[in-house]
Amino acid sequence: MTSNIKINLLIDKPKYTADLGDNNYRVFTPGESITEQKDFMRGHGTYVENGEIKSSVVGVVKKINKLISVIPMKSKYTGEIGDVVVGRVTEIQKKRWKIDTNSRLDSVLLISSINLPGGELRRRNAEDEQSMRKLLQEEDLLSAEVQNVFVDGSLSLHTRSLKYGKLSQGILVSVSPSLIKRRKTHFHNLPCGVSIIIGNNGYVWVSPTVNVELEGQGGFTQNLEAVSKTDREMIVRIKNCILALSSCYVMIYDTSIMLAYEESLKYEPKDLLNQDIMYEVGFNAKQRLLMVNQ
Amino acid sequence: MAYNPLSEAEKTFILHGVQDDFRNDGRSRRDYRPMEFETNVITSASGSTRFCLANSDIIVGIKPEIDVPLSNRPNEGKIDFFVDCSANALLDFEGRGGEELALEISNCLRLAYSAAESFDLKALCILPKHQCWKLFVDILILQCSGNLYDAISFAVKCALFNTRIPRVSSALLDGGNVDLTLSDDPLDCDRLNVESAPLLVTTCRIGDQCVVDPSTEEEICSTGSIVIGVSQDKVTLLKTISGSFHPETLENSIDLAVNTALKINTKLLSALKEEEKKIGPSIRHHKSSFLM
């Protein structure tokens, strides 16, 4: 048994500069003037000072007609109706669960907006509320959809579909929500035997693929049996790939994850912890992604 | 430490992973995450390092001052540690939140460095009974992603290696008053021998197995963890952070820690020498990557 110990010198570290592909993107810093022209409207992430529109966050400018907004590089999640999110129960209150979804305020999941296991209809009585903890405990993870956004920006979630519900074994990877690409579907079964749920809130859930027919009961059961080593290796590899992508600021969706996975195959999963290999995998995936998109 | 909750199923996943000798980031039970460091990052200190272990980020600065030796140890110098947990690292450290942990770590270091086998304090003595150097070791935690004890002890060792103490050209005792003359040349200075400076290795018991270098998630799952101070091949400190150990497990984890510490010691020393060779003899080099 040998232990793997690596100590590098920071003076040897190559400097990685972000390669933004085409140079249309420019990163604005807070207080930096975006435009002095009067006929623009200010959107999110900007403010007006002396008639100039200035950025209030670090990020890239997005123009829609006359509206100028800055998309922050790093931010809390601001939800939109229909988003798929992965969250963690922080608190159980009367008739609702409080869920941490990486937003400024905790989201709520009302007991009326879940499907009971086995499709059973809910009886509206006190007993029902008392047994809430049997379904979802504090610190449990779940996937859900945003049902509603309140005036203060907090979200109301629902799990009224068989694909949503409590999450079982796997790894949660947290990346910046601005790196998540909005797609038609956020649930993927990758060909390597790994399922991922890419939450719009920046939480990505990586887990072994399970047989849907065996477990499709509304998802409040947990399987605590040991995961096989091959599955585990794949899960860890995908996790490290996602982290590599996020360190290179590559948008995270099924294609980019698969490209990074293919790039990573020549290394052991644990090698992906080394920063130079991480950057190499991330940059190669980015280059291939640019080619795919052309 | 950090409040980072995990659900039952996630904990089970980590536990089975440790049993399979394949942890959540692909490491085996004996692997450390990659480390990086740079010495001489603070120009106003006599010795300094920035040390990163994965995302844990630590800065150490050392300043020597002249002091009177303890009466029971007349020909030894002194060394003192002060840890500052920045609220930037963890929100829990805000206000006085990090104080308890800071005190625990500095006490641990103090104990490890006071062992006779570990660090030669006699080298810090100027004039027995009258004058000695006292090293103030200031440790700042900038970011924290598990395994603080280990990272801090490695960082302190690097900073001590980098420390240059002004050379005393003459020390005279003149009727009870000490008359010291320090060398005028800033390049004329003494180095410390850090070969046997202690390394702290934390072993974490998860299930029936012990792992080194636990990540934050693994720290939450652990049923017991113990800090083992190792100077070369001698154990100088045992301190349980949480849980209890069966004698057999304890023995295993000590073996594991000593073996790992030996390897880290050689790698760390060779890396330090390599860096010195690259920078050359000058005390000040242009800072290259700090706060990059």
Render pLDDT for A105-143 as a digit per residue (tens, 0 to 9): 999 999 888 887 776 777 777 788 888 888 888 889 999
Residue A66 located in a structural domain: yes
Residue B137 located in a structural domain: yes
Chain A hits for B220, CB-CB cut-off 8 Å, are none
Note the pLDDT of residue A1. 56
Q: By residue range, what is the domain housing residue A11?
A: 2-72
- B33 contacts A10? CB cut-off 8 A: no
Residue B284 located in a structural domain: no
- Residue window 18-77, chain A: list those with CB within 8 Å of chain B: none
Pair type for strands B177-182 and B168-174:
antiparallel
Q: How many structural domains compose chain B? A: 1
* Assembly ipTM: 0.87
Residue B82 located in a structural domain: yes
A151 contact partners, CB below 8 Å, separation of at least 6: none
Tell me the pLDDT tens digit for each residue of B160-182: 999 988 888 888 877 778 788 88
Note the pLDDT of residue A101. 93
Estimate to the nearest angstrom the gap between the alpha carbon of B255 and the chain centroid: 20
Pair type for strands B131-143 and B78-85:
parallel
Q: How many structural domains compose chain A? A: 1
- B22 contacts A236? CB cut-off 8 A: yes
- Residue window 101-140, chain A: list those with CB within 8 Å of chain B: 137-140
Q: By residue range, what is the domain housing residue B213?
A: 10-166+182-278
Tell me the pLDDT tens digit for each residue of A30-45: 999 998 888 899 998 9
Whole-angstrom distance, CA of residue B73 vs CA of residue B77? 8
- B35 contacts A13? CB cut-off 8 A: no
Around A253, how many Cα atoms within 13 Å sit in the side-chain half-sphere? 12
Q: Which of B6, B13, B14 to mutate to test the interface with A (most CBs of A within 10 A)?
A: B13
DSSP for A186-218? Answer: -EEEETTTEEEEE-TTSEEEEEE---HHHHTTT
Residue type, A35: T
Q: Which CATH number does the domain housing residue A32 bear?
A: 2.40.50.100
- Residue window 258-287, chain A: list those with CB within 8 Å of chain B: 268-275
- A4 contacts B27? CB cut-off 8 A: yes
Tell me the pLDDT tens digit for each residue of B110-144: 999 988 888 888 888 888 888 899 999 999 999 88
pLDDT, one tens digit for every residue, chain A (294 residues): 577 888 888 877 776 655 555 556 788 999 999 988 888 999 989 999 988 999 999 988 888 999 999 988 888 998 899 999 999 999 999 889 999 999 999 999 998 888 877 767 777 777 888 888 888 888 899 999 999 999 998 999 999 888 888 898 899 999 999 899 999 999 999 998 899 999 999 999 999 987 655 554 446 677 777 888 899 999 999 999 999 999 888 999 999 999 999 999 999 998 999 888 999 999 999 999 988 887
- Chain B interface includes A4 (CB < 8 A): yes
Taking the whole predicted model, whether its pTM rises above 0.90 is answered as no
Q: Which CATH number does the domain housing residue B17 bear?
A: 3.30.230.70
- Chain B interface includes A162 (CB < 8 A): no
Note the pLDDT of residue A213. 52
DSSP B124: G
Put the strands of the sheet holding A194-198 in their side by side order: A171-174, A203-208, A194-198, A187-190
